[in-house]
Structure 1
Amino acid sequence: MIYDKGYFLFYGDFNVQQVPFYQMCHDAIRSGNWRWSWTTDLGANFVGSYTFYLLGSPFFWLTMLFPSAAVPYLMGPLYILKFGCACAAGSIYLRRYCKSGDLAVLGGMLYAFSGFSVYNVFFNHFHEAIIFFPLFLWAMDEYMYHRRRGVFALCTFLCCFVNYYFFVGQVVFVIIYWLVRWFAHDEQYRSISGKDFALLWVEAVLGVACSCILLLPTLFAISQNNRVNDPSNGWNALLYDRNQRYLHIFSCFFFPPDLPARANFTPDSDSQWASLGAWLPLFSMSGVIAALQSRKKAWYKTLLTVLFFMAFVPVLNSAFQLFNASYYARWYYMLVLMMVLATLACLQRTDVDWGRAIRWTLGITLAIGLSIGLMPNITRTDTNDGRKIQTISYGLEKYPTRFWAYVAIALVSLLLLIIIFRYYRRHKKIFLRMATVGVAFIAVIYSLFYITTGKTQSDDTHNEIIPYALNKGDDIHLPSDGKQFCRLDVYDGMDNLPMYWQRPTIQAFHSIVPGSIMDFYPTVGVTRDVGSRPSTDVYALRSFLSCRWLFDPINHGENFIDSATSQARMPGWEYYATQNGSKIYENQYFIPMGYSYDSYITRKEYNALPEGDRSLALLKALVVEDKDVSTAKATLTHYSNISAASYTEQAYFVDCRSRAATTCSSFTTDKLGFTAKVTADKPRLVFFSVPWEGGWRASVNGAAASIQKVNVGFMAVQVPAGTSTIRFTYQTPGLKAGGVVTVASFALLGGYVYITDDRNRWHKNKTAELPKTSE
């Protein structure tokens, strides 16, 4: 933060998503623009798009106490608070199994500063799950040990409300946790009555229902996303298709985590961004190995065995994300908490052979480090004269300096642990204090190395992000500002740069957007998975989507002007000015929002066109769904033989002028939607490049109008001849119903707690509490 002038900036997703998302959403909520986000991709359901990232986070809502300019400066302090809260939450859960509070604090530190937590500094919103999960388990234990009513429901609500994606994995884990303890004949779990078991489910259901104010609109939004429907199947459900992934999983328990997108130990494991991190500072796997080697039965040993097995079987690993085939290890924070519990349990026992466990940990660490770092790698190349040249190198890692630094940190950590263990049996208090200091020391060293290394991979924060992004575009002055709605394009620049400026854009890095956007882009040859990044090959999309300005950052990427031809990389663009660290180009064939067509083609005809021609065809004729042809015929003529039309640049210019001649005289957005005015020479279908979504309602001249889904995912409305006022209003689908369910559920929860508390008198029942030494 000192180096970055008070900001905390990292690299990759943190810089281009977490920071602009926080400020944009902060400003949207404070200004009341929380229904439809015009600055998220081509437009998005605000609630549905941001529940995953921040809307359920209490840390985000703390920013509401501060002005907009303060928000980027809060990212670092909020992270400090998050790590502290993770430590506290971990300690609360672990305290039940510790003889002293100091030991529980040590466990909380191990949990909060594990490899998973440090890895996911990259993903700011993952830390909410890390914080609230221990409370979820604590609430389960409270119910099973003391039959405390209502607490489990509240913690269920918190976990679901904070982040629905992680909640799915947490539910799976809690079920496994309960079953393992029940089958392990844990006294408190085994003795539950049928009535108490039923009430536990009642609390679970009420807890989920209480979160419906965010959960219900989220379900409406993500059900459109094609990324959620990709189940594991075939051999890929049983074995990972990348053999290096097995070593990546194994090594993440013995070494500090690799950087996301910069896999080092196993560069071809295809596990970038998978959140593979589970290393415990100072202790590494020694406590876990000690627990597994111990002959004493304990439920956490069984649970760890089950979890490790699930980590290595693809379909079982995917159970924590509704069996989606995309590989992620984003449930490892739960595994880490159990690893910490096993470590603390072993520290309290006298029958554990810590020396053997540390030797095993050291041996495995050395074996992995030396095998990868010194393995001969032979490459053979052919020369021009037919000879073969053989080259021998050593090491399979991708970044040797970084690799050996991680190996050194892991070994130094174990060496420090060996030194500290000299006091284990003689001076327990000194040992505990030294262990706590040791964890803090190693956590600082390895996390500082990790974050510093990550910053070397980032965009130039001092030459680009701080001066030109975090200023919210105050140095940008365009003739359209405040007068005309238009979108921006960024050529080979930082992702989400216009989002920093809170301006509409066609370039967006965002995982959760309307399904219509996900459907549209692939039809024109643009991949749409986690980002919208149309290339210059589909230049017609810029005019089609009302994109007027293109920014070419001076300090980033290649130039928009091709050095070989000295021409712009897309036709019809001319240099306008240099502002805010970018050369700005203007689209000479810009089409304002809200225009109409004279002819139509069917979706079937559109799909039959070559992919490269489709973006150009969108400017020639309106694409209507096959079932809507009869409606289109009322105002449009059929464009016969669209495949034989001209798709040259000159034809593109003519089509742009034709569409621009029919545009609305005004188009303004507001907190509830948008208003447009148009003068039509005859009844027309007016097209808006706003993603089609179920929450939109339209009226023309005050009368309700039907919204037609056209051009593969956008909206159009019928207007009569003459001057008309078009009004589109957006209501977040599921928000009102979700709010009603939430209020009713909290009322039911209050009644449930009152009735059951009065009958059971749990606060007077002290006999159920187990000793602190319980396993």
Structure 2
Amino acid sequence: MKTLKRENLGNGYLFTFLICVATAALIYLPFVVIDKGLFQYCGDFNSQQIPFYAYMNDFVKNSAGQWSWETDLGSSAVNSYSFYLLGSPFFWLSTLFPAKTLPFLMVPLLILKFGVCGLTAYMWLHRYAKTKSWAVIAACLYAFSGFTVYNTFFNHFVDCIALFPLLLWALDKYMYEDVHALFPVTVALNLVNNYFFFAGQIVFLFIYFFAKLSCRDYRIRRPKKFFLLAFESLLGVAMGCVLLWPAALSLMDNPRTVDVSNGFGLLLYGRVQQYFAIFTSLFLPPDPTYLPNIFTDAVIKHTSMTAYLPVVGFVGSMAYLRCREKTPWKRILLVCFFMAMVPVLNSAFYALNSSYYARWYYMPILILCAATMHTFEDEDIDWKKGFKPVAAITLAYAVFALVPKEEDGSWSIGVVQRQSQFWLTYLTAILGLLLLYGVIRFWGDQRRRMTTIMLAVILGFSVFYSVVHISLGKFPQWEGDKDYRSECYEAAQNIQWPDDSFYRVDTYECYDNLSLWMKRPALLCFNSTVSPSIMEFYPNLGVKRDVSSKPEHEKYALRGLLGVKYVMMPLDKSAEYEEKYGSYGYSYAFSDDTYAYYYNENELPMGFAYDKYILMGDEEGESDSITLMTMSESDRANMLVRAIGLSEEQAETYGHLMEQVTNDDLVGLDYDGYVWDVNKRRTTAVTQFEADGSGFTASIELSSDNLVFFSVPYDKGWSATVNGEPVTVEKVSGGMCAVLCPAGESTIEFQYETPGLRASATVSVTALVVWAVYGAVVLAGRRKKKQ
């Protein structure tokens, strides 16, 4: 496939950007009106995207450090938010506005992202187009593909979709036009935007490069060109690695990222429905991310499994694949389809993680858009060779809603979960095919007019099916989210706490991430990339910790251990909470117009010392001593209020300072015993605890040398001093911190610096200098040639 010489391309950049912005506005503004300015969607958008943007806007402006106390039990702000937004140019654009306005700016930012999606796609596509019109149409297909609309749910994924085409555009510039120093910039931009998506982009770039090389579309006649490309690639990675290395150090300890596929899981999906679901993603508009409807036994929820293009669907790509031989696009699409069908190859886009995702589909979708563009531009490609099989396959999907099903002796029609949702989605796909047929049937011989009508139909249809998709996801949660604005945006930011001391809050029947709204540390947290020690600590106590922290309220001892002073809940949940958990030492404290607050009578300060220790051990029980991990999960939190958890190595070093637990200490691990232990811990607790974004300072007085425990997640970025002297920060009790303090009064200072950030920033700055010198040399060489 050679670069096409074409006429009438003109300047389609601004036009494409503006029509994508206008179309996105038509999609989202009606919902903004319904929500009175603060757009609420569902799931992650409400729970993460809105509070993350608002919270980090304030954090980067006002925090003097890198530690976020409001993120779970406390976590590195860099590592916790670099996956979500910290490297995104759209986020940094949002910092031009006050944090309080961010919830209202989510839709304008989203509309802007759709505009950039179209713009960058056009930048790459127009090289291969014969006319501006079809380049614009293909760019709009990319901007409003099912993948982009679906990922409104995640929002920050749209940033990756918007910036990705720049990689292919810059690579083409290098290979076709010998434009140097541009590719490293796009590599750095995509890497700093989202390191996790960039891993998949690397895989796709290799596929793209070698597909073009194998078709002789790219030609490397001199080794110098290849080595310069390798140099520019590495330079781009170095320039953009400022967030990569700290994230890598953290993720290596995160259990969600180290579970690698194995055995049959490398080669075959566990359920045959997975294959049908992947195939279907090409033909039908996507269901809402949390409401899969047909292949419900497959892994579909939250996976971004969709490759649907509005109106044209898979028609143009099917025709192209049937009518073209040995082209880069065909090879790329076939390789990607094969990789999607093989688990280990699919997971290659996600560092071989065993969790199934299809969040890389936006890359082959861009190629689908190019193939579609060629189908309708090139007269030697018969579009009917795509339309007929796609129409037949699409029609066949009706069988899933019509096939009889017997369950528990009762017969019903269809294997879909919700008939109304299926028929709405299905008929939307049929409508798209009918519109496509009508445009070609009536205006196919009028090329200029056909492109205008095709563009209008695609944009109008995009508005229709996007509104349907968002409505299907939004309105089922209407009742559950009706108090979101009043409880989160309005009430949580204006709570009048009785005192300004440092403590944690727990929530009951509240929205996720309320801590980010009220700027107060809280137990409930929905964030996948918090400190790895939290991921270790909670499971040690029998609490599930995958994407969120939601410890059961029955674990009352956990609340005391973690310094929870108040439990808050909506007013109408107060009586229910008091009935269920009031006997665990929670008494009514105060209330406002929205929430009721209960005081935890067994609150412990953030730091204290113990007189006993217990070995952590493991669940296999290989130790001869009593260990925490061989105890019942229901008793472990109670035990950690009674004794600090140490490793065997730590016990050898610090064990002489305390007594080791005995069988007698396994008695009385009930509520009464817990109250007794809390009162005993208070006698050796810190008398002062002050915290900010750089760490904390605490004061304590001990009668003898001892370890002082802090309910602060352990992180390799912590450094500490006691009375000005450096001390070792120990990881104790399965994920918390402790330091050795002498007898008498001590001042303890903890300072936090994200591991690897300084080194990676140094590399990035150095690489920027190298890039500037390299660019200057390239520019000087060009000027010399012109002379």
**What's the TM-score, normalizing by structure 2?**
0.92
Aligned to 2:607: 594
- Over 3 Å counting, the alpha-carbon distance change for 1:61 and 1:263 in structure 2 is same
Is residue 2:720 matched to residue 1:703?
A: no
- Over 3 Å counting, the alpha-carbon distance change for 1:542 and 1:241 in structure 2 is same
Aligned to 2:692: 670
Is residue 2:168 matched to residue 1:133?
A: no
Q: 1:403 & 1:557 partners in 2: Cα distance? A: 40
- Over 3 Å counting, the alpha-carbon distance change for 1:322 and 1:285 in structure 2 is same
Is residue 2:411 matched to residue 1:392?
A: yes
**Deviation per CA, 1:602-625, whole angstroms, max 9, x where unpaired?**
222222222221111001111111
- Over 3 Å counting, the alpha-carbon distance change for 1:574 and 1:396 in structure 2 is same
Aligned to 1:92: 123
Unaligned stretches of 5+ in structure 2? Answer: 1-31, 618-626
The alpha-carbon deviation at position 599 of structure 1 amounts to 1.4
**Deviation per CA, 1:320-366, whole angstroms, max 9, x where unpaired?**
11111110000000011010000001111111222332122111111
SS at match of 1:254: coil
SS at match of 2:242: helix
SS at match of 2:641: coil
Matches within 5 A, 1:365-514: 365-368=394-397, 370-380=398-408, 390-458=409-477, 460=479, 463-471=482-490, 473-480=492-499, 482=500, 484-514=501-531
The alpha-carbon deviation at position 663 of structure 1 amounts to 1.7
- Over 3 Å counting, the alpha-carbon distance change for 1:556 and 1:102 in structure 2 is farther
Q: 1:219 & 1:270 partners in 2: Cα distance? A: 27
Matches within 5 A, 1:598-747: 598-604=611-617, 605-641=627-663, 644-747=666-769
**Is the Cα contact below 8 Å between 2:553 and 2:581 reproduced in 1?**
no
**Is the Cα contact below 8 Å between 2:73 and 2:522 reproduced in 1?**
yes
Is residue 2:533 matched to residue 1:516?
A: yes
**Is the Cα contact below 8 Å between 2:181 and 2:775 reproduced in 1?**
yes
Q: 2:777 & 2:574 partners in 1: Cα distance? A: 65
Residue from 544, 547, 551 that aligns with 1:530: 547
Q: 2:685 & 2:135 partners in 1: Cα distance? A: 66
**Is the Cα contact below 8 Å between 2:554 and 2:581 reproduced in 1?**
no
Q: 1:235 & 1:569 partners in 2: Cα distance? A: 50
**Deviation per CA, 1:52-84, whole angstroms, max 9, x where unpaired?**
000110111112111121111110100000000
SS at match of 2:410: strand
Q: 1:395 & 1:631 partners in 2: Cα distance? A: 66
Q: 1:94 & 1:391 partners in 2: Cα distance? A: 54
SS at match of 1:42: coil
Q: 2:401 & 2:560 partners in 1: Cα distance? A: 53
User: Which segment is superposed worse, 507-516 or 720-729?
Assistant: 720-729
Residue from 307, 313, 337 that aligns with 1:308: 337
SS at match of 2:33: coil
- Over 3 Å counting, the alpha-carbon distance change for 1:680 and 1:443 in structure 2 is same
User: Which segment is superposed worse, 123-132 or 226-235?
Assistant: 226-235
User: Which segment is superposed worse, 487-496 or 70-79?
Assistant: 487-496
Aligned to 1:386: none
Aligned to 1:571: 584
**Deviation per CA, 1:515-536, whole angstroms, max 9, x where unpaired?**
1111111111111111111112
Q: 2:786 & 2:421 partners in 1: Cα distance? A: 57
The alpha-carbon deviation at position 461 of structure 1 amounts to 7.3
The alpha-carbon deviation at position 552 of structure 1 amounts to 2.2
Which residue identity is paired with 1:120?
N
The alpha-carbon deviation at position 137 of structure 1 amounts to 0.5
Q: 1:99 & 1:267 partners in 2: Cα distance? A: 43
**Deviation per CA, 1:411-466, whole angstroms, max 9, x where unpaired?**
11111111110245421111101111111111100111111221123364774111
Q: 2:583 & 2:149 partners in 1: Cα distance? A: 42
Residue from 171, 182, 191 that aligns with 1:160: 191
Aligned to 1:275: 304
The alpha-carbon deviation at position 393 of structure 1 amounts to 0.8
- Over 3 Å counting, the alpha-carbon distance change for 1:253 and 1:567 in structure 2 is closer
User: Which segment is superposed worse, 546-555 or 67-76?
Assistant: 546-555
The alpha-carbon deviation at position 313 of structure 1 amounts to 1.1
**Is the Cα contact below 8 Å between 1:464 and 1:555 reproduced in 2?**
no
**Is the Cα contact below 8 Å between 1:28 and 1:34 reproduced in 2?**
no
Q: 2:571 & 2:40 partners in 1: Cα distance? A: 21
**Deviation per CA, 1:618-676, whole angstroms, max 9, x where unpaired?**
01111111101133234222222366332121111111111122221111112321111
Is residue 2:271 matched to residue 1:249?
A: no
Q: 1:202 & 1:640 partners in 2: Cα distance? A: 62
SS at match of 1:536: coil
The alpha-carbon deviation at position 215 of structure 1 amounts to 1.6
The alpha-carbon deviation at position 684 of structure 1 amounts to 2.6
**What's the TM-score, normalizing by structure 1?**
0.93
Residue from 210, 233, 238 that aligns with 2:262: 233
- Over 3 Å counting, the alpha-carbon distance change for 1:161 and 1:556 in structure 2 is farther
SS at match of 1:315: helix
**Is the Cα contact below 8 Å between 1:423 and 1:430 reproduced in 2?**
no
SS at match of 2:657: coil
**Is the Cα contact below 8 Å between 2:721 and 2:748 reproduced in 1?**
yes
Residue from 537, 544, 547 that aligns with 2:561: 544
User: Which segment is superposed worse, 326-335 or 307-316?
Assistant: 307-316
SS at match of 2:492: coil
- Over 3 Å counting, the alpha-carbon distance change for 1:408 and 1:56 in structure 2 is same
Which residue identity is paired with 2:401?
G
Matches within 5 A, 1:44-63: 44-63=75-94
- Over 3 Å counting, the alpha-carbon distance change for 1:558 and 1:312 in structure 2 is farther
- Over 3 Å counting, the alpha-carbon distance change for 1:199 and 1:668 in structure 2 is same
The alpha-carbon deviation at position 165 of structure 1 amounts to 0.5
Aligned to 1:201: 230
**Is the Cα contact below 8 Å between 1:252 and 1:278 reproduced in 2?**
yes
Aligned to 1:387: none
Q: 2:479 & 2:515 partners in 1: Cα distance? A: 17
Q: 2:449 & 2:574 partners in 1: Cα distance? A: 55
Q: 2:573 & 2:352 partners in 1: Cα distance? A: 39
Q: 2:427 & 2:516 partners in 1: Cα distance? A: 40
Q: 1:194 & 1:710 partners in 2: Cα distance? A: 55
Aligned to 1:385: none
Matches within 5 A, 1:296-335: 296-335=325-364
The alpha-carbon deviation at position 260 of structure 1 amounts to 1.1
SS at match of 1:473: helix
Q: 2:779 & 2:159 partners in 1: Cα distance? A: 30
The alpha-carbon deviation at position 705 of structure 1 amounts to 2.0
The alpha-carbon deviation at position 556 of structure 1 amounts to 7.8
Which residue identity is paired with 2:266?
A
The alpha-carbon deviation at position 296 of structure 1 amounts to 4.5
Q: 2:336 & 2:557 partners in 1: Cα distance? A: 51
**Is the Cα contact below 8 Å between 2:713 and 2:737 reproduced in 1?**
yes
- Over 3 Å counting, the alpha-carbon distance change for 1:459 and 1:650 in structure 2 is farther
SS at match of 1:467: helix
Give the RMSD, CA atoms, in angstroms: 1.9
Which residue identity is paired with 1:422?
R
The alpha-carbon deviation at position 286 of structure 1 amounts to 0.5
- Over 3 Å counting, the alpha-carbon distance change for 1:3 and 1:425 in structure 2 is closer
Q: 1:763 & 1:584 partners in 2: Cα distance? A: 75
Q: 2:593 & 2:533 partners in 1: Cα distance? A: 33
The alpha-carbon deviation at position 559 of structure 1 amounts to 3.4
Q: 1:557 & 1:280 partners in 2: Cα distance? A: 49
Q: 1:602 & 1:233 partners in 2: Cα distance? A: 33
User: Which segment is superposed worse, 453-462 or 391-400?
Assistant: 453-462
Q: 1:27 & 1:441 partners in 2: Cα distance? A: 38
Unaligned stretches of 5+ in structure 1? Answer: 381-389, 766-775
Q: 2:497 & 2:371 partners in 1: Cα distance? A: 61
Residue from 229, 247, 261 that aligns with 2:290: 261
